[in-house]
Structure 1
Amino acid sequence: MAFNPPSAEQVETIMMLTGLDRAVVITALNSKNNDVEAVTNEYFDSPDKFTQKYAWDESVFSSNREGDTNSAPNNTAPPSFVIHPADDNQILYGSEPNSFYAAGAPSRPPSRATTRSPLSRVIDLTAAEYTTNAPSNRQEEEAQLQRAINESLSASGVQSPQGLPAPPPLPQQSGITGGDAVLFGPANRPDYDPNEWAMVRLQNRDPDPEAALRARAPTAPVFLRCRITDWGFHRLGAVLVILHAIPAARNALLQVGSTPEYGYGSNQEWWKGEPILPPAQQAAKEAAQGNYYAVNSYPPWTDELHRLIAFLDSTDRTYGTADILADAKYTEKSLPGDSEQDFFRSYQDAYDAVQEPGSTSSALIMTAEVMPILDNAPVSTSRFVLLDADCPKETLTKTSNLYSIWDLLFYMQIGTPNEDLEAARMALITEASDVITFRFGGSGSVREPFLPKPIEVPETFYIDRYMAVHKQQVLEIQMKMSEVSAALQQNAEKEAALTRHVQSNNKIWDRRVMIKAAIRRCQARITQVKNAAFWRDHTEAHDNGGEDYYLPEHSGEPKLWPQEAKVVAHYETKIQQLEESLAYIDRVMNVVILPERQALQEAYANLCSLLTGPSDDPKWNATHKYTLRGVVSDQNTVFVRRREPVLMEMDETSSPTDQWWKISCLPDENNVVLSGITTYDVVMREACGTGCKPILIFATDKALDEDPVPLSDALKTFVKFDNRHFKQELSQAEQQQSSPKRLKTSVSLDSLATNHMENGVPRVGVETTERLARVSLDSSSPKSPEMQERPRAPLIARPGAAHPISLVHDEGNGAEYGPMDSTRNESGMI
């Protein structure tokens, strides 16, 4: 095939369009068979790549043998390094000696022996044979040991005694040797007392604040903190605080088990986590002599549960702990590390053990059935107290509120094809409990983030969408939701077919984005051609003495050569085609797909709202109402909704008001327990936000209106003794801190912070008072008309006050304490 060089017109055209050198343009045209358009497109696709491909590169002739063009000046060799420094007074070629010893730390500690380290002989390996002078027999070993002792004594200035001669080697023995000789080896059982070698458990616990800072204010709630910091930490104490504030749940916990014959015992360290065992169990433990695995070291589960309920009722302390209850179990059927699930299973087993035929159901146990969609016969029945939402995080990203999460648990998989409806199943509640405990994340670690986004939790929750009595309505909802979900899927497929472009490597692109990018590229190439023509006109006018000048933003049209006009026309036609394609996509999306999707989404939202509240239509009227009573965010924080007593009855229709409280333990601040009034918005933001793993507890009005059962005499005695132990702590702390100077100091609660400063104790209480004042007096906190009309009460509850106020600070940092509230009834409830 004959070679045809490019014409001068072709070369000039490309040079005008690109501004490249003539040699580069000729090389590119030769490689493209003199195709001007192909060369132009290749240049505008990537100018740098085009120049690198066709331009002459002189750098390869100036590079070194490795191909590196940026070689070091004067061809300097890379620096050498000495990994192990040389010993003192040793000269090595290429290594500068140290100017003084203190310039850096030695590579190894100095030795008193005159023998140099084997590392220092590395440079002599080629000159002489290297030996380690290791002893070859017992006599040499004894001689070297004696030599080392003498050199050590002489170096330390101690007079060395006369060295004894080396002992002769041991003679060879044969036969049976005597067994009376003392041999070195592991200790045997006859050689030591087991009590001296038994395993001792370390009490690695954080210190508690002083007794005066742990006194409970009259109306403040009590907290059960978790003292465990390793893998066994739990949120059981926070759950019990919420359940105790619900009368029906409190009564249900007290009614399992029976009063033990020994009473409930007493231990002044029980509130810290030391168990109280029955006398027989305590005697067996002492007889085991430290063998912790020989006997059960935990008290009966129901006994410890009753102690905690009584403690929450009438204690004078700010906080206790539920660590003993978390370790104790009613039965051995439990999952390791899931203290919350173990607790509720133990309660269910304890309730079943005392249940009598014909007795009413528990306020905590719920019953549900699993049944096919197209059949009324239940497949299985389960009873549970704790409902787990162990859903994948990817699924939770598609949910918006609590009802959508319950739909995932109880309803069939929405979007099931019609041919799979026979295998689809749903769960319905056949017997609802008065108290519902709902947990996110299952039995996973609390420290692991769970919620991918905030979840909307309503204060009033209806479970009619999941009741068996509404089975027909629930089935109708699910079938329609399945149809709407299938229609939404088809709508998404229409949009994908219209807007998606899949490349050969399975990479997906949006057609609209690609079209807009192509239009911009075509416009840029047209601009480049016209700018080159403008510049050519300017050059010709300047050479001919004309006055025309070049401006990049010239509004007129340049004089195009035929080849340039052909290129511009080609790109203008391409732009018109792309704009028509983009207009068609937008028209179909705005007229067909988006309106259809909006209508389907509204229909789906309407289906999700059925049976979630009161309705004028009796078919869709929800009646099973629950209110949110508490949220547990972690083991150190609990939000509880308490019913405050009516201090002033304006009329006969006055009812108790609910108030949200935040109780938290601060490990970074000396384990201080703080409690203060908060709002529902704060609860949702801090406990149900992104990354949280909350526990939600709901209760019916019936559970809240139930009368609390009084404590037994044995439990009253237990709490009385525990309060007496605490009073002894207060008196002992006061005696230890008392002095002649302190006796003259005011002992009122107002001056307690000043007294602390005089004795070197930080003013923690004042800081806590200011903090709680900021929390409670926030303008965002709701106030009833009665509270707005009432004059402002003091911030601190004082002993002897006529009416204790709702804002108290009772914990760690606070120093205010006083007598028990007169409004507390016999059972300890407010």
Structure 2
Amino acid sequence: MANSGIQPKAEDIDLVCSFAGIDRASAIVLLKKWPNAEDAVAHYFDDPNGSVQEDLVSRQWQPQDNIPSFRIDADDVGMSRPPSPKNFIDLSDSHARAMRNPTEDDELRQAMAASMKDLSAQENGTTTGQHFGPAQRSHYPPEQWALAPMASAREVVDHPPPAERQRTPPQPAFLRGSPQTGYIAPLLTIYHSISLAREALLLPPLHIFEYGCNPDWWSGTSDENFKSMSIQESSAEDEDRRKFSAEIQCLMAFLDGTSRSYGSVDALCDMNYYRYFQAESPYTKLCEAWRRAAVDEAPNEPLTQVFTSVAARGPDVQGALPEEKDMFQIEGALREARSLTEVLDKIFWTDTWQLPMEDIWMERFGQIVTLRLFNDDQGATKLGISPVEELYLDRYTPELRNDLFRMRTQRYTLLRDMDKLKVNQQKIVQVPGSRANQPHIDVRKALEAARDLVPVAADDTMRKDSQLVEVDGTADVTELDSQINGLLAGIDKKLNSLEQKKSDLEAEIRRVMSDLTDPQHSSLDLKHKYVLHGASTKPNTTYFRKPNHDLLGIEGDHNPSDTWQWWRTAWGESAHSRANVSREDAGDGPFSVTRVTIQEVLESIKNENDTAVLVYADETAINHKPVSLPDSLRQFVEQDNRAFEDELSQQHGQSTGRERSWSNETNSTVMEDNNPFDDPIASLRARDATPMSTSTIRSLSGQPSPKRPRSSNDSMENINLMDDEPPAYESVPAMEMSEKKSNKIGYFAEQMLQTAEQHEEKGG
């Protein structure tokens, strides 16, 4: 909403001008309406003309500090007649003071309040955006005609037909990423594959009674789910927060058991609660929003801290407390590092011999550690280093703080010697210049240029006393050339000697710092082991591992690493474009889901892009016992799978799944003539027993209905084949025998049948 009282910042104005290519006056208008520069630019491209127009309402209302002038039409008039002047009531400030009457004010308020009541077939409430987008769906129910706020501009996605985006077990589902959402989709996909991270994102303390299920939700183009969500009464701020957390819950449940190949995080990134936060990247923005929402919901819940690591810096003043900082992601450049440990050392300790060593350590590592690395070399196209499969982080913990200080002190001395060698190198190749615009002269370049001129000088002639006198300077030129070559050879010899000493020092530094990196190169026992569980080289490319179902039930000698299967998911490229992917695994759509090996993963991280996001998890997170989905989330996924079945049926010209009989849905044998849904009371009871997902009480409580049709391709049967997988809906412990009659529809039919038999016996 426009706020003319706040003046935009100069840097924001310049940013909007440069991105949108508009003048400063238009940029100021945009920023007054949307203080965030990114939002301002997005709204400008959505509506280049209207967005830069100053808010007419705000211009008119400013001088009227009471209430605005507006028209109240008391009587309807003919369409051909203009509005009558007698119907115009001036409620400007000056006129209002002259004719103010408390009774009339009360009557006016009552009349306006009454006119706002009972607005049937229309949604109430205020919208959260400033612009409204075009109709994008093919059909809009009349009872849901409400203005929908348009979020930030996003790419238009051309989804393949339903049959081509149907998940084929054991292929996992994934979340589609985009440049606008950054690494949010890949990381949520990876986190879902880690048992403890999945439970944290499900946020068990937050109970949602019923989730809405819009058929377009999976693609990220609809936020209708939140409007029909049933949650406990709360303030508007708490409602936005809970809806944000509920959306993440839905994404985790979607990945648990969807029949679709992929989903989207676009709706999540368009939510008000997410957009409220400011951060360096979409991922850190998501982490801050999620942790704030989770902590506000359950302040004492340990699951809210699984992604958070805490860095500490020693105080400058003795006796003061250390300075601590929460970190959701450890980020840094390579800076000529050759290994992941060297990169982390450079991130934590920027040691130079000119400055005192900083006392920095990690007070606590989260169970999930996310790293983002990038190659800072100009023009780099690949990361250049290969991460390790097992990472030990003991060297950064408080327990080994003194040992690392000793190692860093040795490196500090070696770095000082290294710097002296660099200074000597500079002295050999450079001398001070004589001119202000040339402070240094490169000795080597000067000598090489002189040597190149020697042959030319041998052929020159000298003019003397206006007569040409040929000079034979061959001997002198040869001697000069020899002297220059001797100087260059001496420079090369000294430089090579210094370079060798530098190499020796670098090797010694690596030897000193190699201690406490892994069990094979450690003088102490290491305890903080983290395993690579996923990676993303681009926002649309994800690598993650899942339990290997092919080894289920096989006993014998096999590599423990084979217990896990690595997968690569990609959006926007065809899988068979990669040489190591078979044709049958590739597919022809805009996405691919393929099996890969850990060696291929490490090689791809090294060479696929100049940046990579890595996710490591400790054994506690990996071996954590999975939790079952609550009933409401199971209903949500079942509804979405039924919607997908309808899409498949419509594609093949068949009747939709929603046209199936209730008897098939509920495993009931109710005859058509005695259908309990013809009775309003019976219908109400059945609706209470089978909420939006049309699941029976039997299935909602964890016991599947035996004859209920499964989703397409029976995609749920492969879920929870191992203990490391999240439990599927069918895996919840069975109910007691006394609860078997909780299927209300079947029970009602049974009662009717017994009553009919009793009447027949009496009549007989």
TM over 0.5: yes
State the shift of 1:408 in Å.
3.0
For structure 1, which runs of at least 5 residues remain unmatched after alignment? Answer: 1-179, 285-292, 530-560, 739-815
Determine if contact 2:208/2:230 at 8 Å carries over to the other structure.
no
The answer to whether 1:323 aligns with 2:266 is yes
* CA distance, structure 1, for counterparts of residue 317 and residue 489 of structure 2: 47
- SS of the equivalent of 2:653 reads helix
Counterpart pick for 1:268 among 197, 215, 233: 215
The answer to whether 1:242 aligns with 2:175 is no
The residue aligned with 2:571 is 665
State the shift of 1:243 in Å.
0.5
The residue aligned with 1:86 is none
- SS of the equivalent of 2:171 reads coil
Q: Summarize the Cα distance change of 1:676–1:207 in structure 2 as closer, same or farther, 3 Å threshold.
A: same
Output the aligned Cα RMSD.
4.5
The answer to whether 1:312 aligns with 2:244 is no
Determine if contact 1:369/1:378 at 8 Å carries over to the other structure.
no
The residue aligned with 1:521 is 453
Deviation digits for residues 151-183 of structure 1, max 9, x if unmatched? xxxxxxxxxxxxxxxxxxxxxxxxxxxxx9859
Q: Summarize the Cα distance change of 1:189–1:667 in structure 2 as closer, same or farther, 3 Å threshold.
A: farther
The residue aligned with 1:208 is 159
Identity among equivalent positions (%) equals 21
The residue aligned with 1:406 is 344
Determine if contact 1:638/1:663 at 8 Å carries over to the other structure.
yes
The residue aligned with 1:415 is 352
Q: Summarize the Cα distance change of 1:370–1:378 in structure 2 as closer, same or farther, 3 Å threshold.
A: farther
The structure richer in helix per residue is: 2
Counterpart pick for 1:714 among 615, 626, 632: 632
Determine if contact 1:387/1:438 at 8 Å carries over to the other structure.
yes
Determine if contact 2:257/2:728 at 8 Å carries over to the other structure.
yes
Q: Summarize the Cα distance change of 1:515–1:356 in structure 2 as closer, same or farther, 3 Å threshold.
A: closer
* CA distance, structure 2, for counterparts of residue 519 and residue 680 of structure 1: 55
The residue aligned with 2:540 is 636
The residue aligned with 2:615 is 697
The residue aligned with 2:361 is 428
User: Which residues of 2 match residues 18-29 of structure 1 at below 5 A?
Assistant: none
Q: Summarize the Cα distance change of 1:235–1:449 in structure 2 as closer, same or farther, 3 Å threshold.
A: farther
Determine if contact 1:242/1:630 at 8 Å carries over to the other structure.
yes
* CA distance, structure 2, for counterparts of residue 268 and residue 477 of structure 1: 59
The residue aligned with 1:493 is 423
The answer to whether 1:251 aligns with 2:199 is yes
- SS of the equivalent of 1:258 reads coil
* CA distance, structure 2, for counterparts of residue 359 and residue 638 of structure 1: 28
State the shift of 1:280 in Å.
7.6
What is the one-letter code of the residue matched to 1:494? N
The answer to whether 1:599 aligns with 2:467 is no
* CA distance, structure 2, for counterparts of residue 624 and residue 264 of structure 1: 40
Determine if contact 1:441/1:450 at 8 Å carries over to the other structure.
no
What is the one-letter code of the residue matched to 1:432? F
Q: Summarize the Cα distance change of 1:630–1:211 in structure 2 as closer, same or farther, 3 Å threshold.
A: same
The residue aligned with 2:483 is 577
Counterpart pick for 1:827 among 724, 727, 736: 727
Q: Summarize the Cα distance change of 1:692–1:522 in structure 2 as closer, same or farther, 3 Å threshold.
A: closer
Deviation digits for residues 86-107 of structure 1, max 9, x if unmatched? xxxxxxxxxxxxxxxxxxxxxx
Determine if contact 2:274/2:289 at 8 Å carries over to the other structure.
yes
* CA distance, structure 1, for counterparts of residue 301 and residue 182 of structure 2: 36
State the shift of 1:337 in Å.
8.1
What is the one-letter code of the residue matched to 2:523? P
The residue aligned with 1:233 is 181
The answer to whether 1:472 aligns with 2:472 is no
The answer to whether 1:341 aligns with 2:271 is no
* CA distance, structure 2, for counterparts of residue 260 and residue 690 of structure 1: 41
State the shift of 1:218 in Å.
1.3
* CA distance, structure 1, for counterparts of residue 538 and residue 169 of structure 2: 26
Q: Summarize the Cα distance change of 1:333–1:416 in structure 2 as closer, same or farther, 3 Å threshold.
A: farther
Q: Summarize the Cα distance change of 1:405–1:634 in structure 2 as closer, same or farther, 3 Å threshold.
A: same
TM-score normalised per structure 2: 0.58
Determine if contact 2:536/2:612 at 8 Å carries over to the other structure.
yes
State the shift of 1:211 in Å.
1.7
Counterpart pick for 1:301 among 223, 230, 244: 244
Q: Summarize the Cα distance change of 1:616–1:241 in structure 2 as closer, same or farther, 3 Å threshold.
A: closer
What is the one-letter code of the residue matched to 2:454? C
User: Which residues of 2 match residues 281-296 of structure 1 at below 5 A?
Assistant: none
The residue aligned with 1:60 is none
The answer to whether 1:365 aligns with 2:277 is no
Q: Summarize the Cα distance change of 1:333–1:182 in structure 2 as closer, same or farther, 3 Å threshold.
A: closer
* CA distance, structure 1, for counterparts of residue 246 and residue 303 of structure 2: 23
Determine if contact 1:277/1:298 at 8 Å carries over to the other structure.
no
User: Which residues of 2 match residues 729-748 of structure 1 at below 5 A?
Assistant: 729-735=647-653
* CA distance, structure 2, for counterparts of residue 283 and residue 570 of structure 1: 97
* CA distance, structure 2, for counterparts of residue 677 and residue 562 of structure 1: 83
TM-score normalised per structure 1: 0.54
* CA distance, structure 2, for counterparts of residue 294 and residue 597 of structure 1: 60
The residue aligned with 1:483 is 413
Q: Summarize the Cα distance change of 1:339–1:595 in structure 2 as closer, same or farther, 3 Å threshold.
A: closer
The count of corresponding residues between Structure 1 and Structure 2 is 509
The higher radius of gyration belongs to 1
Determine if contact 1:245/1:642 at 8 Å carries over to the other structure.
yes
Structure of higher RCO (CA pairs closer than 8 Å, 6+ residues apart): 1
What is the one-letter code of the residue matched to 1:481? R
Determine if contact 1:461/1:627 at 8 Å carries over to the other structure.
yes
- SS of the equivalent of 1:735 reads coil
* CA distance, structure 2, for counterparts of residue 716 and residue 499 of structure 1: 72
* CA distance, structure 2, for counterparts of residue 295 and residue 198 of structure 1: 24
* CA distance, structure 2, for counterparts of residue 672 and residue 477 of structure 1: 51
What is the one-letter code of the residue matched to 1:649? I
The answer to whether 1:676 aligns with 2:594 is yes
* CA distance, structure 2, for counterparts of residue 294 and residue 341 of structure 1: 21
State the shift of 1:603 in Å.
1.3
Worse-superposed segment, 670-679 or 340-349? 670-679
State the shift of 1:578 in Å.
2.7
State the shift of 1:710 in Å.
1.3
* CA distance, structure 1, for counterparts of residue 89 and residue 412 of structure 2: 72
State the shift of 1:688 in Å.
4.8
What is the one-letter code of the residue matched to 1:473? D
What is the one-letter code of the residue matched to 2:166? A
Determine if contact 2:329/2:371 at 8 Å carries over to the other structure.
yes
Q: Summarize the Cα distance change of 1:440–1:518 in structure 2 as closer, same or farther, 3 Å threshold.
A: same
Q: Summarize the Cα distance change of 1:628–1:822 in structure 2 as closer, same or farther, 3 Å threshold.
A: closer
- SS of the equivalent of 2:519 reads coil
* CA distance, structure 2, for counterparts of residue 654 and residue 690 of structure 1: 28
The residue aligned with 1:112 is none
Counterpart pick for 1:217 among 154, 165, 168: 168
State the shift of 1:236 in Å.
1.6
Q: Summarize the Cα distance change of 1:370–1:189 in structure 2 as closer, same or farther, 3 Å threshold.
A: farther
Q: Summarize the Cα distance change of 1:205–1:299 in structure 2 as closer, same or farther, 3 Å threshold.
A: farther
* CA distance, structure 2, for counterparts of residue 509 and residue 683 of structure 1: 48
State the shift of 1:518 in Å.
3.0
* CA distance, structure 2, for counterparts of residue 210 and residue 736 of structure 1: 15
- SS of the equivalent of 2:652 reads helix
What is the one-letter code of the residue matched to 1:304? E
* CA distance, structure 1, for counterparts of residue 363 and residue 610 of structure 2: 31
State the shift of 1:440 in Å.
4.4
What is the one-letter code of the residue matched to 1:820? M
* CA distance, structure 2, for counterparts of residue 302 and residue 237 of structure 1: 15
State the shift of 1:674 in Å.
1.2
* CA distance, structure 2, for counterparts of residue 189 and residue 638 of structure 1: 63
State the shift of 1:483 in Å.
2.1
Determine if contact 2:274/2:285 at 8 Å carries over to the other structure.
no
What is the one-letter code of the residue matched to 1:824? N
What is the one-letter code of the residue matched to 2:190? I
